[in-house]
Amino acid sequence: MHELAITQSMFDLVLEQAEKAGAKKVRKINLVIGEMTGVVEDCVRFYFDFLSKGTLAEKAALSFVMVPLKVRCRGCGKAFELKEFNWTCPYCQGNGMEIIAGKELFVESIEVE
């Protein structure tokens, strides 16, 4: 259920920005979501439709950029994309990892009229 809270805060931010810009309508919202957040695109769409009814952002298009989970091995220092949450370094078989991408969750930009 955490998509509801996430969508709510994203939606509040979008409306705030749109109002500040004196917009009549929000046309498009560009979102960046990291794989590590576990946020499901369809859930965000569903909650967004629900929250945006009767607001400036009603029927706005949602565009998602998904960021794959990337880590750096603490053992050998190599960076790579983590597949299927397999926390073993393919280079040195170590399992000490630092996450360098995939935790993103933000509104990159909005397009208004």
Residues that bind Zn ion (CB under 5 A): 73, 75-76, 89, 91-92, 94
Taking the CA atoms of residue 9, residue 43, residue 26 and residue 56 in that order, the dihedral angle to the nearest 10 degrees is: -70
Nearer to Zn ion, 37 or 75 (CB): 75
Closest distance to Zn ion from the beta carbon of 105 (Å): 27
Nearer to Zn ion, 26 or 82 (CB): 82
Nearer to Zn ion, 59 or 78 (CB): 78
Closest distance to Zn ion from the beta carbon of 79 (Å): 10
User: Which residues does 21 contact at the CB level (< 8 Å), separation at least 6?
Assistant: 112
Q: What angle do CA 37, 31, 19 make, to 5 degrees?
A: 125
